[in-house]
Amino acid sequence: MHLVLISGLSGSGKSIALKVLEDADYYCVDNLPSQLLQPLVAQLDQQGYAQVGVVIDSRGGDSLCTLPPQLDALRAKGVDLQFLFLDAQDATLIKRYSETRRRHPLASDRLTLTEAIAEERVRLAGLAALGHHMDTSVLKPSALREWVRQFVATDAFPDSPQGGLTLLFESFGFKNGIPLDADLVFDVRCLPNPYYEQNLRALTGLDAQVIAFLEAEPEVLRMRGDIAGFVRDWLPAYVRDSRNYLTVGIGCTGGQHRSVYLAERLGREFRSCARVLVRHRELPPPAMTALGIA
């Protein structure tokens, strides 16, 4: 059985993520108390379900504390399990609740929306590190759907020399904030900026003209080599730490040229030694790529 477990902050996009699984023919369950996870998996396995998606979050109350040992037990029984934790900045969550006029599940007469979000963060703090942390703060629904599809697709990648770890390079623009899901962040705003070339301004780091401009700059090639060397040297340590995902954020000012170019080139460079995903936070979903092993 392939089990995708989804958790995270209310308003971070869990319903969208579950809908992606449902559209991919997963049997989906929302708002499951965590103590029922193992019985549910056992029952569905007996009935022959090969793909299952489950949302477990703060609505489950005190049962959340039983989740970590259940995940270990399921993996020990051979269940192919992926855990996705969705997060977003407080300001984004408040805006989403204001726009939809929905009530936060922890809101009450004694808790404002801001306080409810803070309380939920405390309750879920122990779960965020159990799986892949995804920041949805600036993502449109279409981009989130694509990122979830990529996350699920990594299960189909062949075994890599780095075991179960997936290495994710994410370009972003500092003007929209640092991604909450980044484990390592590299600031490349010091590099020559194609934005100031009139004929390159409307292009991206995926375009040949921008690539040629950047690769003609020795500083860009040096930065690329330095980042690659750092990641290559420390990747085995993250593998020993039993990481399933390592997210490397590459940030420039707008997230359109320099960071996109470097994320793409680094993704290609590491294809031979790890499962690799490449994301471009500030570009439309078609610009996102999933890289397997050559």
* pLDDT tens per residue across span 159-192: 555 557 889 999 999 999 999 989 999 999 999 9
Query: Which pLDDT score is estimated for 217?
Result: 97
Residue 282 domain flag: yes
Residue-wise pLDDT for 194-234, tens only, equals 999 999 999 999 999 999 999 999 999 999 999 999 999 99
Q: How many CB atoms lie within 10 A of CB 237?
A: 9
Q: Are residues 13 and 131 located together in one domain of the fold?
A: yes
Q: pTM for the full model?
A: 0.79
Q: Are residues 229 and 149 located together in one domain of the fold?
A: no
Task: Single out the residue in 126, 156, 186 at which a domain terminates.
Answer: 156
Query: Which pLDDT score is estimated for 158?
Result: 46
Q: What is the CATH number of the domain that holds 121?
A: 3.40.50.300
Q: Are residues 70 and 171 located together in one domain of the fold?
A: no
Kindly list the averaged pLDDT for each block of 10 residues, start to end, along the chain of length 294.
95 95 95 92 94 90 82 91 94 90 84 91 87 91 91 63 78 94 96 96 97 97 97 92 88 97 96 89 70 36
Query: Which pLDDT score is estimated for 290?
Result: 46
Q: Are residues 78 and 29 located together in one domain of the fold?
A: yes
Task: Single out the residue in 106, 135, 156 at which a domain terminates.
Answer: 156
Q: Are residues 102 and 139 located together in one domain of the fold?
A: yes
Q: Are residues 120 and 215 located together in one domain of the fold?
A: no
Residue 128 domain flag: yes
Q: Are residues 140 and 170 located together in one domain of the fold?
A: no
Q: What is the CA radius of gyration of the chain?
A: 20
Q: Are residues 21 and 115 located together in one domain of the fold?
A: yes
Q: Are residues 182 and 224 located together in one domain of the fold?
A: yes
Q: What sections of 154-282 are H helices per DSSP? A: 208-215, 218-240, 258-269
Q: Are residues 269 and 170 located together in one domain of the fold?
A: yes
Q: Are residues 122 and 253 located together in one domain of the fold?
A: no
DSSP 54-82: EE--GGGGGGGGGHHHHHHHHHHTT-EEE
Query: Which pLDDT score is estimated for 291?
Result: 46
Domain of 132 in residue numbering reads as 2-156
Task: Single out the residue in 156, 183, 218 at which a domain terminates.
Answer: 156
Residue 97 domain flag: yes
Residue 18 domain flag: yes
The backbone torsions φ and ψ at residue 79, rounded to the nearest 5 degrees and listed phi first, read: -75, 130
Residue 244 domain flag: yes
- Whole-angstrom distance, CA of residue 228 vs CA of residue 270: 8
Q: Are residues 17 and 119 located together in one domain of the fold?
A: yes
Residue 161 domain flag: no
Quick one: angle between helices 258-269 and 218-240, nearest 10? 50
Sign of the CA dihedral with 256 first, then 261, 263, and 264 last:
positive
Domain count, the chain: 2
